[in-house]
Copies of this chain bind each other. A is one copy, B any other.
């Protein structure tokens, strides 16, 4: 690439003609004179072809990278925060194009939500389950014949009762944790690390499954209205996940209004459909079922208790998302906990009405699950006919399901950041990305849920069995944590509160066991296995961070309240510096010059299997650099790296516990492939020295122009 910019003549000497005898004949410094002062050109000559060109390019554009704030205090500008190098710049540009310009940390908003907006934001996950919960119950019951589907109504009522218990129980959490009380936080504070890790794992799996199930159900709703897309089920689901992931990387904040519209369309649309259905039922006495293909045929299994419990397990997915309000208490307008509790109550009422209403109506119309059309779509078509209203209900169902998936994209990354701050997830999850979102958590969730969708072919009923166990495990640990909380704190009315949470904990624990037992072979085993592995992984991560922090002596000052007083020695003894030398060339001379600025105790070492060549080098060396010792190591087995290591080990013997610094030139060719033309001694030395405590390897870069 030709350099188009002109270098001003006064700062930069023209590059030397390569191949000429261009070494500078430098004079020796006078007594007492600094050698560098005697040779002002040296640094420039040995430091490469175009000193300062970077600096010139910088000012020419006139962009400031650092702003001085005070003595020793600076602020980086946006330009200064972007990578300066070629490839990094390209990557950054692509990223900006896709997810938008980088935002400053100060732009993080802390908006407070009214109850009406909060209901819209927090309820999408819970309400959206009305779109598939009834169908999941029917899919199990129909195994015992079409008549058995009548049992869906008592099952849905049992689930509604469970919902009441859970909501009442969570009301206590909202009150006790005004800063947000997810299952992980409550378990961590009250039950200890292991239950917290279990709760955290359960929640991580949950969020992933929420995205997978909601997307799959959303796609099913689309396919009900547009059967021609039937073959693109997985592709459609992945498309949605990618769009939601990108949207969240752009930083869709909980801006309320945008989320409120589709949620209320859904509430009124779905609610309206149910209302019309019941009115028609009462007026006409019956509703004719719309025609449907691929209807599931009734099976011949016995209607055992196990089958009923299995249907109950499937339906219990309706409760997912019911805890969302508890995480978000700080977003409410004051009095926060009261507004949150009220919102949660309304959410629960709507959820129960929708879920039970759908189940009753499905039974009255006589709808059965089908491959090609969801139960809700069949009800909508039967009640409303295949007209514009039908499409509105379907469209709003799709939207609420996508919003539910989106909720998980707010939830998992936030949870991961909390866990990362607690050192149970990799630190990287605690950093906010360009758009102030927790990018790594978002990407993780996008990838994991895509994987689930691909593995299970984006079929809701295949993913559901993996879903509920995690949800109820988290519920149980959260409520159990509250029980301990009340025992410890004994605030006013703690006995009553404890009783409520205990009921909640027991009820959800029973459901968790039922789900695990009845769904085990259908996929629950997999989610249990994943959770166990996750717990083990998180445990190891935590143990590593804890150990590292202890070894590094972190947090001592903070814990003791008094800063420890350190004194760090400054240069006293000179460093031992070793410079491996292959031949005497500009790169080596530059490296030697650098090594000598580090220490007066610098030694060159030459490894060879050719004595004659070594003798020649020594002769040349003695003429050129007489005041620096050269050690020659003959290597009859032609090893290059190991003799240097052996020499350093020898130094250990004469000066134990001393640091040894190895300084060597590293050729940086212009093109990547050219790296393979050099012997990469630096890389090999780094590997060979990796196990040594007290050895520091310093590469002095030498940039080649070709």
Measured in the bound complex, the distance between the Cα atoms of B547 and A703 in whole Å is 12
Contact with B along A22-46 (1 / 0, CB 8 A): 1101111100001111110011100
CB-contacts of A75-105 with B (<8 A): 75-76, 78, 80-86, 88, 102-105
3 cross-chain pairs, A with B, having the tightest CB-CB distances, nearest first: A34-B572, A36-B572, A547-B706
Of listed A37, A564, A679, residue having the most chain B CB within 10 A: A564
Contact with B along A643-660 (1 / 0, CB 8 A): 101110110110011110
Q: Determine how close the nearest CB of chain B comes to the CB of A669; give it in whole angstroms.
A: 7
Whether A639 sits at the interface, judged by CB under 8 Å, is yes
Whether A687 sits at the interface, judged by CB under 8 Å, is yes
Given the interface pairs A21-B564, A566-B624, A569-B593, the reply to whether A74 lies near B631 with Cβ below 8 Å is yes
Given the interface pairs A43-B658, A81-B642, A633-B75, the reply to whether A570 lies near B688 with Cβ below 8 Å is no
Residue of B nearest to A560 (CB): B21
Q: How many subunits of this chain does the assembly comprise?
A: 2
Whether A111 sits at the interface, judged by CB under 8 Å, is no
Contact with B along A571-592 (1 / 0, CB 8 A): 1111100000001111101001
Measured in the bound complex, the distance between the Cα atoms of B597 and A598 in whole Å is 8
Q: With a CB–CB cut-off of 8 A, which chain B residues contact A484? A: none
A426 pairs with B677, CB closer than 8 A:
yes
A104 pairs with B636, CB closer than 8 A:
yes
Measured in the bound complex, the distance between the Cα atoms of B422 and A435 in whole Å is 54
B693 pairs with A102, CB closer than 8 A:
no
Q: With a CB–CB cut-off of 8 A, which chain B residues contact A609? A: 105
Q: With a CB–CB cut-off of 8 A, which chain B residues contact A543? A: 706
Residue of B nearest to A426 (CB): B677
Whether A335 sits at the interface, judged by CB under 8 Å, is no
Q: Determine how close the nearest CB of chain B comes to the CB of A262; give it in whole angstroms.
A: 32
Whether A632 sits at the interface, judged by CB under 8 Å, is yes
B563 pairs with A637, CB closer than 8 A:
no
Q: With a CB–CB cut-off of 8 A, which chain B residues contact A600? A: 570-571
Measured in the bound complex, the distance between the Cα atoms of B74 and A630 in whole Å is 11
B596 pairs with A599, CB closer than 8 A:
no
A541 pairs with B88, CB closer than 8 A:
no
Q: With a CB–CB cut-off of 8 A, which chain B residues contact A84? A: 642, 645, 649, 688, 691
B83 pairs with A642, CB closer than 8 A:
yes
B76 pairs with A633, CB closer than 8 A:
yes
Whether A705 sits at the interface, judged by CB under 8 Å, is yes
Given the interface pairs A55-B649, A568-B589, the reply to whether A427 lies near B687 with Cβ below 8 Å is no
Whether A294 sits at the interface, judged by CB under 8 Å, is no
B704 pairs with A75, CB closer than 8 A:
no
| 6 more A-B residue pairs beyond the given contacts A29-B569, A566-B584, A698-B698, with a C-beta to C-beta distance below 8 A | A35-B572, A37-B572, A54-B649, A76-B607, A76-B643, A82-B642
A656 pairs with B105, CB closer than 8 A:
no
Whether A372 sits at the interface, judged by CB under 8 Å, is no
Q: With a CB–CB cut-off of 8 A, which chain B residues contact A552? A: 585-587, 702
Q: With a CB–CB cut-off of 8 A, which chain B residues contact A697? A: 698-699
Q: With a CB–CB cut-off of 8 A, which chain B residues contact A635? A: 75-76, 81
Residue of B nearest to A593 (CB): B568
Residue of B nearest to A656 (CB): B52
Residue of B nearest to A18 (CB): B550
CB-contacts of A678-706 with B (<8 A): 678-679, 687-688, 690-706
Residue of B nearest to A33 (CB): B572
Question: What would be 25 A-B contacts, judged by CB atoms less than 8 Å apart?
Answer: A22-B553, A29-B569, A47-B657, A54-B649, A54-B652, A72-B631, A76-B639, A80-B643, A80-B646, A81-B635, A82-B639, A83-B641, A102-B637, A427-B678, A427-B679, A428-B679, A548-B706, A565-B623, A568-B589, A570-B597, A571-B600, A573-B597, A574-B597, A690-B701, A696-B700
Q: Determine how close the nearest CB of chain B comes to the CB of A683; give it in whole angstroms.
A: 12
B599 pairs with A583, CB closer than 8 A:
no
Measured in the bound complex, the distance between the Cα atoms of B568 and A80 in whole Å is 36
Q: Determine how close the nearest CB of chain B comes to the CB of A44; give it in whole angstroms.
A: 5
Measured in the bound complex, the distance between the Cα atoms of B694 and A701 in whole Å is 8
Whether A19 sits at the interface, judged by CB under 8 Å, is yes
Measured in the bound complex, the distance between the Cα atoms of B18 and A374 in whole Å is 60
Residue of B nearest to A11 (CB): B656
Question: Which one of B22, B37, B88, B431 contacts A687 once the chains associate, using CB atoms below 8 Å?
Answer: B88
Measured in the bound complex, the distance between the Cα atoms of B700 and A462 in whole Å is 52
Given the interface pairs A75-B634, A563-B620, the reply to whether A553 lies near B65 with Cβ below 8 Å is no
Question: Which one of B72, B75, B645, B669 contacts A629 once the chains associate, using CB atoms below 8 Å?
Answer: B72
Question: Which one of B597, B620, B657, B696 contacts A575 once the chains associate, using CB atoms below 8 Å?
Answer: B597
Whether A276 sits at the interface, judged by CB under 8 Å, is no
Q: Determine how close the nearest CB of chain B comes to the CB of A444; give it in whole angstroms.
A: 13
A592 pairs with B568, CB closer than 8 A:
yes
Q: With a CB–CB cut-off of 8 A, which chain B residues contact A630? A: 72
Whether A530 sits at the interface, judged by CB under 8 Å, is no
Given the interface pairs A51-B693, A584-B557, A693-B51, the reply to whether A566 lies near B551 with Cβ below 8 Å is no
Measured in the bound complex, the distance between the Cα atoms of B587 and A37 in whole Å is 36
Residue of B nearest to A78 (CB): B637
B81 pairs with A544, CB closer than 8 A:
no
Residue of B nearest to A696 (CB): B700
Of listed A80, A433, A575, residue having the most chain B CB within 10 A: A80
Residue of B nearest to A34 (CB): B572
Q: With a CB–CB cut-off of 8 A, which chain B residues contact A391? A: none
Q: Determine how close the nearest CB of chain B comes to the CB of A457; give it in whole angstroms.
A: 31
Q: With a CB–CB cut-off of 8 A, which chain B residues contact A494? A: none
Whether A529 sits at the interface, judged by CB under 8 Å, is no
Measured in the bound complex, the distance between the Cα atoms of B42 and A570 in whole Å is 11
Measured in the bound complex, the distance between the Cα atoms of B39 and A704 in whole Å is 44
A692 pairs with B65, CB closer than 8 A:
no
Whether A456 sits at the interface, judged by CB under 8 Å, is no
Q: Determine how close the nearest CB of chain B comes to the CB of A667; give it in whole angstroms.
A: 7
Contact with B along A1-28 (1 / 0, CB 8 A): 0000000000100000011011101111
Given the interface pairs A633-B75, A642-B81, A649-B65, the reply to whether A677 lies near B545 with Cβ below 8 Å is yes
Q: Determine how close the nearest CB of chain B comes to the CB of A560; give it in whole angstroms.
A: 7
Q: Determine how close the nearest CB of chain B comes to the CB of A75; give it in whole angstroms.
A: 4
Whether A491 sits at the interface, judged by CB under 8 Å, is no
Residue of B nearest to A694 (CB): B47
